[in-house]
């Protein structure tokens, strides 16, 4: 891998591409600053996420954390990409009025707003991450690997455990699925965001470069 990872030109090319494709922020940083924490995986099954052991891109169907840490240690540089968007007032009203999450996720008006905001932002972020991964590979960074945000949304319903992924060259696990503490990692990269904010959402993707 050598010096291909070094220099301002190396970083600026990726950052320029990310911003041109719609990222609100992006940063190349030392891969050693990526934080992997078992407690992130804990939140996948306590309370149990509906995608746990259902989606092929979610735990426990992805790489174990110890194995991922070993792989991560071989990388020198990574790229974090963010897309931020404001939650519409009509959705905030639904959020504040909901008694609990179960009520919220059966609210048709809220779910429609979710599709019009979150899914648009996530699809854009996934496109950016895939493009950056491909660009890195073309530059000779043969181990470049992208991770998404949240659950995989390529299919209306995942093919499920025991079946082959329908989009094996597009589907990517999320940072959270790999046990990455997104907030701490973003802060380490110099791109902090308010994780508890309900009126502005910041989605993060990661590309391991070299």
- Segment 143-154 shows an average pLDDT of 95
Q: Does the global pTM surpass 0.85?
A: yes
Cβ-based burial of 114 (10 A; exposed 0-12, middle 13-18, buried ≥19): middle
The pLDDT of 120-146, averaged and rounded, is: 95
63: domain range? 2-208
Is the pLDDT confidence value at 1 over 50?
no
How are strands ordered across the β-sheet holding 145-147?
25-30, 77-86, 200-208, 145-147
- Residue 88, pLDDT score: 85
Least confident interval from 28-37, 90-99, 140-149: 90-99
Question: Is the per-residue pLDDT at 22 higher than 60?
Answer: yes
Contact at 8 Å (CB) between 133 and 144? yes
Residue 59 has pLDDT above 70, yes or no: yes
Q: Is 90 exceeded by the pLDDT of residue 20?
A: yes
Supply the pLDDT for residue 8. 66
Distance CA 145, CA 6 (A): 18
pLDDT at position 2: 44
Residue 126 burial (CB count, 10 A): 22
pLDDT at residue 42 above 60? yes
pLDDT tens, 2-15? Answer: 446 766 667 899 99
What is the mean predicted confidence (pLDDT) over 163-172? Answer: 94
Number of domains making up the chain: 1
For residue 140, which phi and psi values (nearest 5 degrees)? 100, 5
């Amino acid at each position: 891998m050598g010096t291909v990872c070094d220099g301002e030109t190396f970083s600026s090319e990726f950052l320029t591409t990310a911003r041109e494709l719609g990222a609100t922020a992006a940063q190349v940083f030392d891969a050693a600053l990526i934080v992997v924490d078992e407690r992130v995986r804990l939140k996948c099954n306590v309370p149990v996420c509906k995608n746990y052991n259902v989606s092929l891109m979610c735990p426990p169907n992805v790489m174990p954390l110890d194995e991922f840490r070993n792989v991560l240690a071989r990388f020198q540089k990574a790229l974090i990409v963010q897309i931020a968007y404001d939650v519409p007032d009509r959705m905030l009203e639904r959020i504040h009025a909901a008694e609990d999450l179960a009520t919220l996720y059966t609210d048709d008006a809220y779910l429609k707003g979710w599709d019009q905001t979150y899914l648009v932002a996530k699809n854009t972020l996934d496109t950016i991450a895939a493009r950056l991964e491909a660009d890195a590979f073309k530059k000779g960074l043969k181990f470049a690997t992208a991770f998404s945000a949240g659950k995989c949304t390529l299919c209306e319903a995942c093919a499920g455990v025991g079946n082959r992924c329908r989009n094996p060259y597009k589907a990517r696990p999320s940072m959270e699925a790999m046990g990455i503490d997104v907030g701490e990692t973003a802060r380490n990269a110099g791109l902090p965001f308010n994780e508890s904010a309900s009126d502005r959402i910041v989605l993060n993707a990661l590309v391991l470069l070299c």
